[in-house]
Structure 1
Amino acid sequence: MQTTTPTLVPTPPEYRDPEYALHPDGTRVERLEDITRRRAAVTPDAVAVITPEATTTFLDLDLEASQVAQALLAGGVAAGDRVAYVGENAPSFLAVMYGASKMGAVPTALNFRLAGPEVAYILGNAEPAAIVLGRGMEHLVPVAQDAGVRLVVTLAGHPGTTSYDDWLADVPATDPGYSRGPDESALMFYTSGTTGHPKGIELTGPNIGKAIAAMHYLLELDTTSVALAPVPFFHVSGLGLALVAGVNGAALLLRNQTSPADLLSILQEYRVSHAVAVPTLIQFMVAQPEARTADWSALKYLIYGSSPIPEPVLREATEVFGCKFLQSYGLTESTGGVTMLSPEDHRPTPETAHRLRSVGRPMPNVPVRVVDPTTLADLPPGERGEVLIGGGHVMKRYWRNDSATAAAITDDGWLRTGDGGSFDEDGYLYLHDRLKDMIVSGGENVYPAEVESTLTGHPSIAQVAVIGVPSERWGESAYAVVVPTPGATVTEGEIIAWARERMAHFKCPVGVAFVETLPLNASGKLLKTALRSEYGA
């Protein structure tokens, strides 16, 4: 593989578009499959991916993506089919994503932390024609086979499957040349819904090109940059940085940290210039003594989201790292961030310090409203309502779920986020109660309805309500309030262990309270506010 350090090739200043990110030749980013094509043509020797084992140039990545495309075609995969990937961040993820795109299939990123039954549900819903399982995911081979996936590829090799290296051996690196239409689905993520079932979120090429535009112009990425996204690629925030880095010719560092101290070491060793982290991780890093003596001159940007950082922690982090901080709020359904708390906002005056509790202002060309949840009438600054998002960031639809799509997107195209918020007089958005009761645990979204649906399958549980409780380590964690089945004897430990066999561990309750009845109002509606008041501490 090439390891040549490329000459800096900046984007010409005249190449700017207020609505889209642009390729190095000045054309709009409207097709996922064009990112490696255009970048490899301009800076073929620039480093695209860095791992502890090797570096991969943009030409290397583009050629491997073409091999993946040809291997998929040879395996009977057709344009419009889904191609799933389950595994930690790796160069193969990018090659499969771009390769599937090059032949018209829809890359579908699955959460590698899910338990087997959860993966089985998603595969049954998505019906992918092919699946690639990353290292350590071999236990999902029978799950994929039982789901009827025709082509199962494993990175490490596994009986009854094709190994990734053998799959691509002797396959020509010829680009099939597919160009997706603007209304075709280009990428699919899965998220959990309030019904308890994950939903496929279909995003188009224009969704992606518009969503990464603000970061594309702001982050000062070029062929000398090293970007680190320790956030998994099945999250739109993690993959978003990878896409922006690719468009701008920056090197993407794929190195999984084992601890906050390890992450500090990685940032130092590779001279990372741009990094994405959840607030809890930033807080962990600042608490490490070695953070204060390290050389942070290479670090330009720390990007975070999912929740605001407590003001004292943010001030300390700004002092320690000395870089620019940027916060963004968004959903997978909005193709990622739609608001931005700018670097300037992170260095406030006493009069503007309150803005640190906000998620910033709407990005350019992204309409955001706060409305009455019932009438959908706009509310004035200071009044709390539901946050609505409009414009080209809004997803195409939920996969095979017309009723959920109709509930989420209004007739005139506004995405109902289910998040409670309010604007101030200066246009900064503040998030309040989450209308959908979502729990954010270490940057992962946990939907109580999904956890409740799983727990009610336990023979000793008659009723259950799941709430979020504060966690010093994760921000929030799930907590279950259980009404046992009459005559049953069950312990907290047994319920937690039972849940861990059926769900990703970050979704599982960290504690269980046993009650005779759950609190209900006069209409029979569960009063989770009462549960939070009693157990929230």
Structure 2
Amino acid sequence: MNTTSTKWVPSLTNDEYGMFPVEEMVLAGRRQKVYKNVSPPTSTADNQLPKTFRHLLREGTRKFADRVVVSSPIPLPADFYAREELTFQQVYDRALALAGILRERGVKVGDKVALGGNNSADWVIAFVALQLLGVNGVLLNATLTPEAQVHCLALTGPKFVLVEEAMAGEIGPLADELKSKGVGPIWCWSSVKHLPAAAQAGVQEISSLKPAAAQTVRDIDAGTSLEGLEADSDAFIAFTSGTTSMPKGVLLSHRAALHMLQTSPLIMARALLRNGRTLDEVMELMNTPPPQQPCHLMATPLFHVTALCGGFIAQYASGIKSVFMRRWSVPEAVKLIVANNVQFLGGVPAVVQSVLQSPDLPKDWVFNRFSYGGAPPPTRLAGDLVKRWPGAMPAMHVGFCGPDYVSKPEAVGPPMPINEIRIVDPETRAVLPTRGFGIIEARGSNMMKGYYNNPKANIETINEDGWLDTGDMGFIDEDGDLWIPKDMIIRGGENIASAEVEYVVSQDERMACVAAVAVPDDVLGELVGIAVELAPGQVVSPQEIIDFADARLRYPARPVICVVFDELRKFTGASPTDPSTRRDEQGAQERGQEGSP
């Protein structure tokens, strides 16, 4: 590939797109491929691509100031169905005010501030505020247990913790414990007066804080005191789901997170070329703004990279309106789709699948785009979407789009130009040939910088040449497309390792052996099922075992079915699912020897 020219030349091979110029540079001591900082063939770019979130957010606000950016539920204790709409400018102004409060309390470039909650206008405002300051946002997974939240906060040690009312109720009573672990004050962006006294005592409402001086706000807007903020600065820390141990913090740079600004249009452009369009036609389509503001139902949480590095970034790049929900409900989703004229549907495949199957969706409703990922979609989903909406283009978040995806719905697709992917032998680490099945390794400037505050995991995951061991098994076919056979339970986008479930269930001393498996589900893709062998002399009903697991597992990991076998170990081998082995593993974890994600 020519990495010096800035001319976009179409190429239909999977290993050389030619749509974006790529160059090599040394990042974090490793040679990696990066997109050159030039405008891609899309209407979202003026001259240069944003190098940081701050740049993206300011430019998006400048271009789309009066457009509605978010339709969101109003925080409780408001009426459950009460909603509000904010424009790009309103979000920016409120974010500036919050950023001013943080700066006057000592927050500066590179500091960490935690952000916890479900999708809401206030979550967006808080995230924008952090990025205007060049802060490293610690994005708490709102589905985790209070114990896991304490772990994530203690691991990262943020100066402040900004949360919604629900999370305030969970971690507010733990404020003293968090303080002892180096975590700063907890602030809530909504009222906490309806919460228990213990929660109120540990949380302060942001509305009660003294506003920042006008000059402080002007300085932030102007970009003063932002020395050191650049493309490879820390942007945010997201968290793994947590399997046999507590979640790990995944640190991403601005460069890594914002690569979607070029990757997304590239996927679309390549699909159009593959569908017979000429380069001139593709360029015209990609540079022609839609006749009306696009609207997207954002059902995936923003603390996941699926939504943040996909939908949220697209909002500010293209002026898209996002519609949030208080919690997922198919009938409510359809009502919001119709009320807001949603034409773009995305998130995890379960969201798209459930809307497609809903009898409430008007028969004549038209979607023009689908984009999903984070979980294995049903094989027939792409074909079903094209059959009902022939003019729409289904796409995986990173990988296939259009006819290529429809023809290979079980494949992931080709790597991006900035990515290198290889398959290696699990034992020798030798690179395997085409269709050789082994460990998937990836390298590129959109990879994580590393696990935060976890050098042991970094050594185990990223080698000296920058190759990241994904922990997944797969192969690459003759077309250069990646395939990942299912080896993990993925429930609606939540990764659930079998070991996570097995570990918990095996703590019941009545168990002799436990195996967790994926159970197919038409809506969520997969659910958790468990098979057990009882210890000699034990009599336990499947429902009792499920109840035991439910009390100890996070919601997505809870099994929906349990089958008791007489001799399960004949099929599984004795093993990590044996309770005695699991208790030894628990001891190792308590000594700080973390298991695999």
TM interval, shorter chain, is: 0.7 to 0.9
Aligned-partner residue type, residue 399 of structure 1: Y
In structure 2, relative to structure 1, the CA distance for the partners of 1:294 and 1:104 (3 Å cut) is same
The offset of 1:342, in angstroms, is: 1.3
Instruction: Go from structure 1 to structure 2 and tell me whether the alpha carbon gap of 1:474 and 1:489 turns closer, same or farther (over 3 Å shift).
Output: same
Structure 1 unaligned segments of length 5 or more: list them: 1-12, 329-336, 348-352, 529-537
Cα offset for 1:193? 4.7
Q: Contact (CA 8 Å) 1:359, 1:428: kept in 2 or not?
A: yes
Partner of 1:227: 296
Q: Secondary structure at the match of 1:33?
A: helix
Alpha-carbon separation, structure 1, partners of 2:483 and 2:141: 29
> Helix, strand or coil: the match of 1:94?
helix
Aligned Cα root-mean-square deviation (Å): 3.3
Alignment of 1:435-450 (within 5 A): 438-450=488-500
1:339-382, Cα deviation, whole Å (9 max, x unpaired): 411113245xxxxx3x1221222223322222322333332322
**Residue among 323, 334, 342 paired with 2:401:** 342
Contact 1:230 1:254 in 2 (8 A): yes
What per-residue deviation string (whole Å, max 9, x for no partner) do you get for residues 1-56 of structure 1? xxxxxxxxxxxx9x976626867442232212222222223332233223363332
Tell me by how many angstroms 1:65 deviates. Answer: 1.9
Percent identical among aligned pairs is: 25
Length-normalised TM-score, structure 1? 0.82
| Match of residue 13 from structure 2 | none
Aligned equivalent of 1:174 = 218
Residue equivalent to 1:74: 104
* Counterpart contact for 2:323–2:336, Cα < 8 Å: no
Q: Distance in 1 between matches of 2:418 and 2:166?
A: 42
Q: Quick check: 155-164 or 113-122, which moved more?
A: 155-164
Q: 2:325 aligns with which of 255, 272, 277?
A: 255
TM-score between both structures, scaled by the size of structure 2: 0.74
Aligned-partner SS, 2:53: coil
Aligned 8 A contact 1:196 1:449 in 2:
no
Alignment coverage as a number of residue pairs: 496
Residues 1:133 and 2:163 aligned together: yes
| Equivalent residue for 1:102, pick from 132, 135, 149 | 132
Alpha carbons of structure 1 residues 286 and 488: separation in structure 2 relative to 1, 3 Å: same
Render the CA deviation track for 1:246-278: whole Å, top value 9, x for unaligned. 122222222346432332332222122322132
Residue 4 of structure 1 is matched in structure 2 by none
Partner of 2:439: 386
Question: Aligned partners of 1:423 and 1:291: how far apart in 2?
Answer: 38
Aligned counterpart in structure 2 of residue 41 of structure 1, from 62, 66, 74: 62
Contact residue 299 and residue 325 of structure 2 kept, 8 A: yes
Given candidates 238, 243, 247, the residue that maps to 2:307 is 238
The answer on whether the counterparts of 1:123 and 1:144 sit within 8 Å (CA) in structure 2 is: no
Structure of higher RCO (CA pairs closer than 8 Å, 6+ residues apart): 2
**Residue of 316, 325, 328 corresponding to 2:393:** 325
Match for residue 286 of structure 1? Answer: 356
Residues 396 and 197 (structure 1 numbering): CA distance in 2 closer, same or farther, change over 3 Å?
same
Counting only pairs closer than 5 Å after superposition, residues 155-234 of structure 1 correspond to structure 2 as 155-158=189-192, 159-160=200-201, 161-167=203-209, 169=211, 172=214, 173-176=217-220, 177=223, 178=226, 180-216=229-265, 224-234=293-303
Q: Which segment is superposed worse, 372-381 or 398-407?
A: 372-381
SS at match of 1:445: strand
The farther-off stretch of 87-96 and 140-149 is 140-149
- Pairing of 1:269-308 with structure 2 (within 5 A): 269-291=339-361, 293-296=363-366, 299-308=367-376
> Is the 8 Å Cα contact of residues 117 and 502 (structure 1) preserved in structure 2?
no
Letter in 2 for 1:163: E
Distance across 1 between alignment mates of 2:573 and 2:518: 24
Is this contact kept in 2: 1:304–1:327, CA < 8 A? yes
Task: Tell me, in whole angstroms, the C-alpha distance in 2 between the residues paired with 1:193 and 1:505.
Answer: 13
Superposed counterparts of 1:110-125, under 5 Å: 110-125=140-155
Aligned to 2:188: 154
SS of the aligned residue for 2:409 comes to helix
Distance 1:203 1:514 in 2: 43
**Distance (whole Å) between structure 1 residues aligned to residue 165 and residue 395 of structure 2:** 32
Match for residue 531 of structure 1?
none
- The structural deviation recorded for 1:283 is 2.5
What are the superposed Cα offsets for residues 443-476 of structure 1, whole Å, 9 maximum, x if unpaired? Answer: 2111233334444555655764433333344322
In the alignment, the residues of structure 2 paired with residue 526 and residue 459 of structure 1 have an alpha-carbon distance, to the nearest angstrom, of 15
| 1:441-460 equivalent positions in 2, closer than 5 A | 441-458=491-508
Tell which structure's C-alpha radius of gyration is larger.
2
The structural deviation recorded for 1:433 is 4.3
> What amino acid maps onto 1:71 in structure 2?
I
Whether contact under 8 Å (2:550, 2:558) holds in the other structure is yes
The answer for unaligned runs of 5 or more in structure 2 is 1-7, 9-18, 23-34, 74-82, 193-199, 269-285, 579-597
Distance 2:529 2:475 in 1: 28
C-alpha spacing 1:459/1:137, structure 2 compared with 1 (3 Å): farther
Which amino acid is the alignment partner of residue 341 of structure 2? R
Classify 1:277/1:194 alpha carbon distance in 2 versus 1 (closer, same or farther; 3 Å).
closer
